[in-house]
Amino acid sequence: MKWDVDRALEAVSAETKALDGLRKEILANRAEGSRRAGFVIAGGFVVGVIGMMASGNVMGLLAGVVVALVGCAIVHQIYFRKGEERYRLMFKVGFLSKLVKAVEPEMTYVPESGITKSMFTGSGLFGKGADRYASEDLIHGKIGATKVMFSEVHSEEKYTTTDSKGNTRTHWRTIFKGVFFVADFHKEFRSPVTVMPDVAEKNFGWLGKKMQRLGGNLQRMEDPEFEKHFVVRGADAVEVRYLLTPSMQERLLKLRGRLGRDLRIGFQDSHVCLAIPNASNWFEGDLKMPAGDQSQTMMLMGQLKSCFQIVEELDLNTRIWTKV
């Protein structure tokens, strides 16, 4: 798979010029916003001093602080946040959509869409449904003969705590944040199979190995290196080995080495799903950089490549099995 940065930059040159014009306009508005914020802070200080002199206590000063904070919030919304959101959307719709096409012509980028919640929860890679779910930056199409889709996902669960006074608070815990990848697997199989990080055995040794059986449908694999890093579950032992051939186990180990030890893989409905944790936000343009900055373009192409090359790494374009 060839990745030519200069060719990609040439393909998005028109979008780059338009974005840089918008970027200069937004930065000029930000400078004006900073100037007005200074006036608001100074006005708040004057109000506070006058209020304190009139009331004879600090309450007047606090009123000035409130005026300054409210004013700064309004200035930030008008001159900073709206401009940044506008640039972010235009960068994705213009620049990034063309960049995706330049890299993989049969792939399409839809920034406001994402992997559906039902597809994410139905993968079986996470034990419970999401109480709060968000997905964006959907990229879908074909790489070679293989249909592929992936997007950023942030899934959370809700829980409550009660303190000694009976006060209840709601909290949110992240179930998964990162890229969720789905591709045709081109093998027919009846029951789902999951390949999860082997956390229990790594942390608790022989006791963790015993604990693994509590989850049910545990399947032991012959490759000791694969067993060391992954826990495999599936209802049919023969089918598990049909999917996880020695070659596939080796490929998944290499993929884990590249994508991280928390990688989760699921096989379901003739698809393979990968949950790739990632704390940072991918596929974004930086307002501080020119749209066509080469380092930024290389970073974005690297993010795309990280997902696109999974097809090659798992040999998904090979067609040696017949699907019913």
Distance CA(239)–CA(244), nearest Å, equals 9
pLDDT at position 304? 94
DSSP secondary-structure letter at 161?
Answer: E
How, if at all, do strands 264-268 and 271-277 pair? antiparallel
pTM confidence score: 0.79
Kindly report the number of other CB atoms within 10 A of residue 154's CB atom: 17
Distance CA(40)–CA(53), nearest Å, equals 20
DSSP secondary-structure letter at 260?
Answer: -
pLDDT at position 35? 54
CB-neighbour burial class of residue 88 (10 A; exposed 0-12, middle 13-18, buried 19+): middle
How, if at all, do strands 146-162 and 218-219 pair? unpaired
pLDDT at position 310? 97
Q: Which residues of the chain have pLDDT under 70?
A: 1-5, 28-83, 200-216, 319-324
pLDDT at position 297? 87
User: What tens digit of pLDDT does each residue of 73-114 get?
Assistant: 554 455 455 667 888 888 898 889 989 998 899 999 999 999
User: What tens digit of pLDDT does each residue of 191-211 get?
Assistant: 999 999 987 555 444 444 544
Q: Structure tokens of 108?
A: 């399409």
